[in-house]
């Protein structure tokens, strides 16, 4: 056989591996169309690498002991476009769409647009902690923070 090169995970996939593991954290939801008043919640992330190329993530958010939100993310790197890609699906009933991102200095940042506006998702990797921030914008220039979370290994 032959005729094609076998892909091998590279340094970009090592960045995606930073998303993996069992993580629990505190989440501050700021006022938004989905959350009229600020709330303190708890989030849990269970993520693993698939074939060395993709980070697969399952997310659960709780208000006290009650599950308030669930999500599923698939993260990859597109070598042709030289950018990270995030696919998101959640319990609000729709796909969050595809977001494209970059990585620099310990920060993996994604951005996308949909019919409800522009969205930004930022993972900041620290020693023993990952910070996640989410923001929304009507025009793609003025941003309103929706969520600020701090996760540690569970």
For 10-22, what is each residue's pLDDT tens digit?
999 999 999 999 9
Judge whether 6 lies within some domain.
no
Quick count: other Cβ atoms within 10 Å of Cβ 79? 10
Domain of residue 139 covers: 11-153
| Residue 32: inside a domain | yes
**At 34, is the pLDDT very low, low, confident or very high (cuts 50, 70, 90)?**
confident
Q: Which tokens is 134 given?
A: 């989410």
In a domain, 1, yes or no: no
Asked whether the predicted pLDDT for residue 99 surpasses 90, the reply is yes
Q: Is residue 26 part of a domain?
A: yes
Mean pLDDT for all residues in the chain: 93
Model confidence at 69: pLDDT above 90: yes
Q: What is the pLDDT of residue 77?
A: 98
Residue 3 forms part of a structural domain = no
Query: Structure pTM?
Result: 0.92
Our count of domains for the chain comes to 1
């Amino acid at each position: 056989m032959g005729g094609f090169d076998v892909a091998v995970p590279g340094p970009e996939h090592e960045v995606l591996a930073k998303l993996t593991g069992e993580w629990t954290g505190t989440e501050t939801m700021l006022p938004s169309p989905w959350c009229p008043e600020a709330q303190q919640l708890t989030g849990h992330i269970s993520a693993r690498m698939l074939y060395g190329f993709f980070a697969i993530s399952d997310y659960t958010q709780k208000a006290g002991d009650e599950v308030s939100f669930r999500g599923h993310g698939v993260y990859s790197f597109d070598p042709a476009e030289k950018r990270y890609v995030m696919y998101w699906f959640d319990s609000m009933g729709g796909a969050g769409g595809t977001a494209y991102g970059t990585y620099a200095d310990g920060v993996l940042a994604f951005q996308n647009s949909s019919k409800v506006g522009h969205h930004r998702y930022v993972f900041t990797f620290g020693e023993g902690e990952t910070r996640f921030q989410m923001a929304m914008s009507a025009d793609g220039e003025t941003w309103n923070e929706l969520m600020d979370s701090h996760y540690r290994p569970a």
